[in-house]
Amino acid sequence: MGARRVNLEDIDVDIDYTVAGQEENVGTALRRLEFQRQQRLQLVPTDDLEVRTVLGLLNEPEETLNEDKFSRRERLAELLFNNEEHLNTYKNSSLYHGHSNPDPISSTDGSKIEEEDEDFYTPATAKLIEARKFILPYSIDRSMKRLQSMKERALNFDIGKEINTRRQLNQHLEKMQLVGSQIVSIRPISKVCLMSDNALCATGSWAGDIKILDTKTLDVISGIENGHDGKIGGLAWNSTNTHLVSGADDCLVKIHSFDPDVKIIKELTALQGHTGRVVNVDFHPSGRFVASASFDMTWRLWDIESETELQFQEGHGKEVYSLSFQNDGALLCSGGLDNAAIVWDVRTGKSIMNLQGHAKPIYSVDWSPDGYHIATGGGDGVINIWDIRKTTETTRLLAHNNIVTGVRFQKSTGHCLVSCGYDKQIRIYSSDNWIQVKTLEGHTDKILDVDISEDAQLIVSSGWDRSLKLWKQE
Mapping DSSP onto H, E and C, the string for the chain reads CCCCCCCHHHCCCCCCCCCCCCCCCHHHHHHHHHHHHHHHHCCCCCCHHHHHHHHHHCCCCCCCCCCCHHHHHHHHHHHHHHCHHHHHHHHCCCCCCCCCCCCCEECCCCCEECCCCCCCCCCCCHHHHHHHHHHHHHHHHHHHHHHHHHHHHHHCCCHHHHHHHHHHHHHHHHCEEEEEEEECCCCCEEEEEECCCCCEEEEEECCCCEEEEECCCCCEEEEECCCCCCCEEEEEECCCCCEEEEEECCCCEEEEEEECCCCEEEEEEEECCCCCCEEEEEECCCCCEEEEEECCCCEEEEECCCCEEEEEECCCCCCEEEEEECCCCCEEEEEECCCEEEEEECCCCEEEEEEECCCCCEEEEEECCCCCEEEEEECCCEEEEEECCCCCCEEEEECCCCCEEEEEECCCCCCEEEEEECCCEEEEEECCCCCEEEEEECCCCCEEEEEECCCCCEEEEEECCCEEEEEEEC
Domain end marker among 113, 130, 164: 113
Asked whether residue 217 is domain-assigned, the answer is yes
Q: Are residues 244 and 391 in the same domain?
A: yes
pLDDT on residue 429: 95
- Domain residues for the domain of 349 are 154-473
Q: Are residues 367 and 429 in the same domain?
A: yes
Low-confidence ranges of the chain (pLDDT < 50): 8, 35, 98-122
Q: Are residues 296 and 438 in the same domain?
A: yes
Phi, psi of 289 (to 5 degrees): -130, 160
Asked whether residue 277 is domain-assigned, the answer is yes
Q: Are residues 199 and 101 in the same domain?
A: no
307: left (phi over 0), alpha (psi -120 to 50) or beta: left
Q: How far apart are CA 419 and CA 406, in angstroms?
A: 5
Q: Are residues 218 and 96 in the same domain?
A: no
Asked whether residue 7 is domain-assigned, the answer is no
pLDDT on residue 4: 57
Asked whether residue 142 is domain-assigned, the answer is no
Asked whether residue 385 is domain-assigned, the answer is yes
Q: Are residues 293 and 401 in the same domain?
A: yes
Q: Letter for the amino acid at 157?
A: F
Domain end marker among 57, 82, 113: 113
* CATH number of the domain bearing residue 413: 2.130.10.10
Q: Are residues 176 and 97 in the same domain?
A: no
Residues 6+ apart with CB under 8 A from 268: 243, 254, 255, 256, 257
| Greatest extent of the chain over all pairs of C-alpha atoms, in Å | 79
Q: Are residues 103 and 216 in the same domain?
A: no
Q: Are residues 183 and 271 in the same domain?
A: yes
Asked if 461 and 443 touch (Cβ cutoff 8 Å), the reply is yes
Q: Are residues 93 and 159 in the same domain?
A: no
Asked whether residue 89 is domain-assigned, the answer is yes
Q: Are residues 164 and 95 in the same domain?
A: no
Number of independent structural domains in the chain: 2
Q: Are residues 186 and 104 in the same domain?
A: no
Buried b (16+ CB within 10 A) or exposed e, 325-338: bbbbbbbbbbbbbb
pLDDT on residue 27: 61
Sign (positive or negative) of CA dihedral 181, 185, 187, 190: negative
Asked whether residue 122 is domain-assigned, the answer is no
Asked if 340 and 353 touch (Cβ cutoff 8 Å), the reply is no
Number of residues that this document lists for the chain: 474
Asked whether residue 119 is domain-assigned, the answer is no
Give the end-to-end CA distance of the chain in Å, rounded to a whole number: 53
Domain end marker among 88, 113, 138: 113
